[in-house]
């Protein structure tokens, strides 16, 4: 039994608190205890976080019982969200207190295991306490870990680390934040003088071998001859890479085999615990009484609100997810008007941390009936017992939907319950394809950000500012990080030259952060390098937001977009966090407001936040269209055959995809009409081009391409530029998730 390997006090507490270990815990604990890198993939609510922490806590308990636990950091937990970091610290208090009670009952020495959070929101007093007496477990974010690695006190605290836990790793791996963290982990290894045990956690990982390589890093023994070769499609899919992860379960055997297929593979001992992401879920579509159209009317919105209010009334707590902050504010206002202002509130990233935390605690206590949130509550934050999750509009990604629905029934043995509210006919088709993809057990694939040299430059300055480095040693350290495994020596040298030479101005050279001894190959930091690295760190882009300050308390309550702030004048009333505020004055970077005492507000806006559809969901939409087209009779068929094929298609959607007859009928009617109008249903294998004339007589060319807006935008820009160069005529292009529109009218175009 896995519990037999734990200290008796730890095992006794677990048996008292839980019936039995979950499969993920049972497989992960022996691997972690043996000092192996471990990647845990398991559904939400399956005890992944406890699986990672309990093995580390057991080691601390054993050390404390045997000879006293020194005041030094042993575990670093990294999460992508500050709110998740705070939540984990609170959830650790229960097992730590329970284990201390068990030690007392067994007449063993007391072991005090201290946990502290270090994020951008940590008060200065707590930071001072952390410096004076390091905690055994540090809970932090990638950006705060970077800052700790750049300060003398932080490096002293982290130098005794033994284990690193990376939670929600799927949210970090495919972007620059992940590349930034990968280099920070290599810097932490170099600081400690050994390879630390790394544990990765996530419910949605695909391909899991790629995530494992991102977690563990790679060996550089065989990199020299292949460093200049760019990653191929086969490499990105999981084959021909330089790190092989030993799988512990059947679902990952094929992945592990493909990783070992390449000639340049270097084995890195990583145990993949794959408990899968498939679990029993209660999922369904919710449609208004009126048929959906291209755009939802105000009357139909009223029907959506009424149905949402009914569902909230039927459940104790409901979490409502939307895709934009503006929608969160608008929906929270509508629901609070009918359910009561004290029963509903909003939660998004433009609210101050105190307001977000208050909303989370009110939901956890059961004071709220509904909480309307954006992606700020998408990851594994413990917000209490949520009975129902409602998604307004399509979530645009399979993994996003699974993460959000997983907030309900978030416990071992729980059943997540989710309801999808499509807002248009196209969203209805997309939501049906989403449910079909979930039924098939599909996930979105992530792609690790490869060689972001701006992140490399930032980390090089930060590390050299901490101590001198030889160029060769720093180069090898950098290439241990998987996103930078194929950085060539020429690229690395170019980055060093830029950092050491800076740029020339009228007043002389500027921006030289390093002194480079090219003869001896030694790097030293210039004056101001450390300050620049600490104040300009991270890979989260800056936003042009204005702080909203409540007077007369001078309390920061959130932020609004720069354009909204500039357009506002004194006396305007707007809503933030489901509360109305009146603008007093607009200053540089700050909007000063007062309580509007419930006066009717406008809703602020934020730009550039709507997500694009994932490639896998776009493929699912195309597959659903293709299946429906295959089942529908041709347009020239007899009326009886047409009616029969329509009913057969509706029955298939109900039986196989799992939607109700009303939604199935609307999908078949909509796509059937499209097939009659276009002659085919556009898929990723069959594109359709349509020309029509607008009210002014201008020509509009529509290319039906269901590849998602990210690909369609790029394709539309390329087509626009080709038209311009070929015909010497400027025109406009736009893209949606399913089409590209080229405007050829004179009102939108002109000769070059």
Phi (first) and psi of residue 117, to 5 degrees: -100, 135
**Is the CB of residue 243 less than 8 Å from the CB of residue 216?**
yes
Q: What is the pLDDT of residue 728?
A: 81
Structural Rg of the chain based on CA atoms: 28
Cα separation, 500 vs 522, in Å, equals 12
Burial of 212 (0-12, 13-18, 19+ CB in 10 A): buried
3-state secondary structure of 118: strand
- Give residue 408's pLDDT: 86
Backbone φ and ψ for 474, nearest 5 degrees, come out as: -65, -40
pLDDT at 413: 67
The answer to whether the CB of 739 falls within 8 A of the CB of 704 is yes
pLDDT of residue 747: 61
How far, in Å, CA of 735 to CA of 708, rounded?
A: 9
- CB-based contact 247:255 (threshold 8 Å): yes
pLDDT score at 412:
66
Q: Which residues of 9-27 are buried (b: 16+ CB within 10 A; e: fewer)?
A: bbbbbbeeeeeebbebbbb
- Residue-level pLDDT at 220: 59
- Predicted confidence at residue 333, as pLDDT, reads 94
E strand or H helix at 495, and its extent? Answer: helix 489-501
CA distances from residue 69 to 73, 212, 413 in whole angstroms, order as listed: 10, 32, 36
CA-to-CA distance for 177 and 538, rounded, in angstroms? Answer: 7
- pTM over the 0.85 mark: yes
What pLDDT score does 411 carry?
Answer: 67
What averages of pLDDT result for each successive group of 10 residues across the chain (752 residues)? Answer: 84 91 92 93 83 93 90 93 68 89 92 89 87 93 94 95 94 94 97 95 88 88 42 38 37 33 52 83 94 92 95 94 94 94 92 87 89 80 77 94 85 83 96 96 91 95 95 95 94 94 80 89 92 87 87 92 93 94 94 94 83 93 96 81 90 94 96 93 95 84 94 94 85 92 73 58
Q: What pLDDT score was predicted for residue 560?
A: 94
Q: What angle do CA 468, 472, 477 make, to 5 degrees?
A: 80
238 Cα distance to chain centroid: 21
Q: Please name the residues in contact with 553: beta carbons below 8 A apart, sequence gap of 6 or more.
A: none
3-state secondary structure of 117: strand
């Amino acid at each position: 039994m896995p519990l037999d390997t734990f200290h008796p006090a730890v095992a006794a507490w677990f048996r008292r608190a839980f019936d039995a270990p979950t499969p993920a815990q049972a497989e992960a604990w022996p691997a972690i205890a043996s000092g192996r890198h471990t990647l845990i993939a398991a559904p939400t609510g399956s005890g992944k976080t406890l699986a990672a922490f309990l093995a580390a806590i057991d080691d601390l308990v054993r050390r404390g019982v045997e000879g006293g636990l020194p005041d030094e950091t042993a575990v670093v937990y990294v999460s992508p969200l500050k709110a998740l970091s705070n939540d984990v610290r609170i959830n650790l208090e229960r097992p730590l207190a329970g284990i201390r009670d068990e030690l007392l009952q067994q007449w063993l020495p007391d072991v005090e295991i201290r946990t502290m959070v270090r994020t951008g929101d940590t008060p200065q007093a707590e930071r001072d306490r952390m410096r004076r007496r390091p905690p055994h477990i540090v809970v932090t974010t990638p950006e705060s870990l970077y800052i700790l690695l750049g300060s003398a006190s932080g490096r002293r605290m982290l130098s005794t680390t033994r284990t690193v836990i990376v939670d929600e790793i799927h949210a970090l791996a495919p972007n620059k934040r992940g590349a930034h963290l990968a280099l920070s982990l290599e810097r932490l290894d170099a600081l400690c003088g050994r390879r630390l045990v790394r544990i990765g956690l996530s419910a949605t990982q695909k391909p899991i071998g790629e995530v494992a390589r991102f977690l563990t890093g790679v060996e550089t023994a065989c990199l020299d001859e292949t460093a200049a070769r760019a990653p191929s499609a086969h490499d990105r899919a999981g084959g021909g890479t330089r790190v092989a992860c030993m799988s512990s379960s059947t679902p990952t055997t094929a992945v592990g085999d493909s990783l070992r297929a390449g000639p340049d593979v270097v084995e890195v001992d990583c145990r993949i615990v794959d408990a899968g992401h498939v679990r029993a879920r209660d999922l369904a579509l919710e449609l208004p009484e009126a048929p959906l159209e291209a755009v939802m009317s105000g009357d139909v919105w009223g029907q959506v609100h009424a149905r949402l209010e009914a569902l909230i009334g039927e459940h104790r707590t409901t979490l409502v997810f939307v895709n934009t902050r503006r929608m969160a504010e608008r929906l929270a206002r509508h629901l609070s008007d009918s359910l009561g202002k004290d029963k509903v509130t909003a939660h998004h990233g433009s609210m101050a941390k105190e307001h977000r935390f208050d909303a989370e605690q009110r939901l956890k206590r059961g004071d709220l009936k509904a909480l309307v949130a954006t992606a700020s509550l998408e990851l594994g934050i413990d917000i209490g017992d949520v009975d129902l999750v409602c998604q307004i509009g399509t979530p645009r990604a399979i993994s996003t939907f699974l993460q959000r629905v997983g907030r309900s029934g978030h416990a071992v043995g729980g059943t997540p319950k989710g309801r999808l509210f499509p807002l248009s006919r196209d969203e209805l088709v997309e939501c049906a394809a989403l449910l079909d993809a979930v039924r098939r057990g599909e996930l979105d694939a992530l792609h690790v950000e490869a060689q972001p040299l701006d992140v490399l430059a930032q980390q090089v300055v930060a590390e050299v500012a901490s101590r001198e480095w030889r160029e060769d040693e720093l180069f090898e350290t950098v290439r241990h990080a998987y996103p930078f495994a194929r950085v060539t020596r020429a690229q690395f040298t170019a980055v060093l030259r830029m950092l050491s030479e800076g740029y020339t101005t009228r007043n002389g050279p500027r921006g030289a952060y390093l002194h480079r001894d090219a003869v001896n190959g030694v790097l030293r930091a210039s004056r101001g390098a450390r300050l620049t690295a600490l104040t300009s760190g991270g890979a989260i882009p800056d936003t042009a937001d204005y702080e909203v300050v409540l007077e007369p308390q001078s309390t920061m309550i959130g932020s609004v977009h720069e354009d909204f702030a500039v357009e506002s004048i004194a006396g305007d009333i707007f809503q933030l966090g489901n509360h109305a505020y009146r603008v007093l004055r607009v200053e540089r970077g700050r909007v000063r407001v007062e309580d509007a005492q419930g006066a009717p507000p406008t809703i602020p806006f934020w730009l550039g936040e709507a997500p694009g559809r994932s490639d896998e969901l776009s493929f699912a939409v195309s597959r659903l269209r293709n299946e429906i087209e295959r089942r529908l009779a041709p347009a020239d068929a007899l009326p009886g055959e047409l009616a029969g094929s329509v009913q057969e298609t509706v029955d298939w959607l109900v039986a196989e995809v799992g939607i109700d007859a009303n939604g199935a009928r609307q999908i078949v009617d909509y796509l059937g009409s499209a097939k009659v109008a276009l002659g085919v249903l556009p898929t990723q294998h069959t594109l359709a081009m349509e020309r029509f004339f607008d009210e002014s007589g201008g020509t509009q060319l529509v290319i039906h391409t269901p590849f998602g807006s990210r690909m369609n935008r790029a394709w539309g820009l390329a087509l626009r530029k080709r038209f311009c160069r070929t015909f010497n005529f400027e025109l406009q292009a736009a893209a949606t998730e399913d089409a590209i529109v080229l405007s050829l009218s004179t009102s939108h175009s002109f000769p070059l």
